Chain A
Amino acid sequence: MDRSINMVDQEQDGMLPIANVGRIMKQILPPRAKISREAKQTMQECATEFLSFVTGEASDKCHKENRKTVNGDDICWALSALGFDNHAQATTRYLHKYREAERDKAAANNQNTAHIKSHGGLQVAQQNQTSNLEFRVLGKGDNSLVTKP
């Protein structure tokens, strides 16, 4: 009995979670529609197989092009190659929006870092005047040590 439960757990671990799958199914169906447990399990297996199938195609492409990393573009390409044209188009748009959001985030982070550096330099200069401690403000790429009197 315990062994069979462990087998089921391991099986579940290698698939998409049935709760998430069930939720997506429920959201697309009319409110009063019901889904049998076995239908959810079948959908779970199908979605997992879909993932493996598309990954295989994307991975083959990378291999042929001597690339090691499977990226978002490869997945969009694989979807199209396997006949999922509508999905490929929507996924490509999603990928571009994601990359745009990541670029915006990186740009915002860079601005914040520059802001801190310029203000940090100003504070050190002020401290220098008030405390008479000998500090050298580190320039960019300057690895010289700060010395105290």
Chain B
Amino acid sequence: MRQPGRYSGLTMCGGISGRTGPHSLPLARIKKIMKNSGEDVKMISGEAPIVFSKACEMFIEELTRRSWMTTLEGKRRTVHKDDVASAVVATGIFDFLVSLVSGSCCSEDITLVEIETLKS
């Protein structure tokens, strides 16, 4: 079993369990996404993916919390895609995600492959 890393004590909510190691998101994948985000992004410092792992974790936590509020309003205990979409639409700083969720807020049966086919 992997032991908590040096930075596990630095996480804000009491620490993610040692099972995921010091970072809750893989640094190599974060770096890949950063590089894919634009042609201008050529060099990334070693600390950038580490900082982002924390920022992404906080983002997911916030969006999840807000989605859960919608779930509770619907008197349900399962978070659906529509709940995430509602949270995005209701929160100003998530405006950049509106187009991402608006196309997929209807049927839950649409798979990723089908969405890609529809887009093309």
Interface residues of B in 22-55 (CB under 8 A from A): 24-26, 29-30, 32-34, 36-38, 40-45, 47-48, 50-52, 54-55
Give the A-B pair count, Cβ closer than 8 A.
195
* In contact, A83 and B92 (Cβ under 8 angstroms): yes
Whether A90 lies near B12 (C-beta < 8 A) is yes
Interface residues of A in 1-52 (CB under 8 A from B): 4, 7-8, 11, 14-17, 20-21, 23-25, 27-29, 32-36, 38-39, 41-43, 45-52
- For the complex formed, measure the closest distance between the CB of B40 and the CB atoms of chain A, giving whole angstroms: 5
Using a CB–CB distance below 8 Å, which chain A residues touch chain B?
4, 7-8, 11, 14-17, 20-21, 23-25, 27-29, 32-36, 38-39, 41-43, 45-56, 59-60, 62-63, 68-72, 74-76, 79, 82-84, 86-87, 90-91, 94-95, 97-99, 101
Report the separation of the CA atoms of residues A90 and B54 in the bound assembly, to the nearest whole angstrom: 9
**B112: which of A20, A41, A46 is its contact (CB, 8 Å)?**
A41
B60–A24 touching, CB < 8 Å: yes
Given A16-B25, A60-B40, is A42 in contact with B32 using a C-beta cutoff of 8 Å?
A: no
Query: Which residue from chain A places its CB closest to the CB of B67 in the assembled complex?
Result: A39
Query: Considering only CB atoms, which chain A residue lies closest to B99 in the complex?
Result: A49
Interchain CA distance A67-B23 in the complex, whole Å: 27
What is the total number of residues of chain B having a CB less than 8 Å from a CB of chain A? 64
Q: How far is the CA of A69 from the CA of B43 in the complex (A)?
A: 5
**Complex CA–CA separation, A72 to B55 (angstroms):** 11
Once the chains bind, are A72 and B50 in contact (CB under 8 Å)?
yes
Instruction: Give complex CA distance A68, B57 in Å.
Output: 26
- Shortest A69–chain B CB gap in Å is 4
A33 to B74, CA, bound (A): 13
B67 in contact with A4 (CB, 8 Å): no
Q: Does B2 contact A (CB under 8 A)?
A: no
Known: A59-B37, A71-B48. A54 touches B55 (CB 8 A): yes
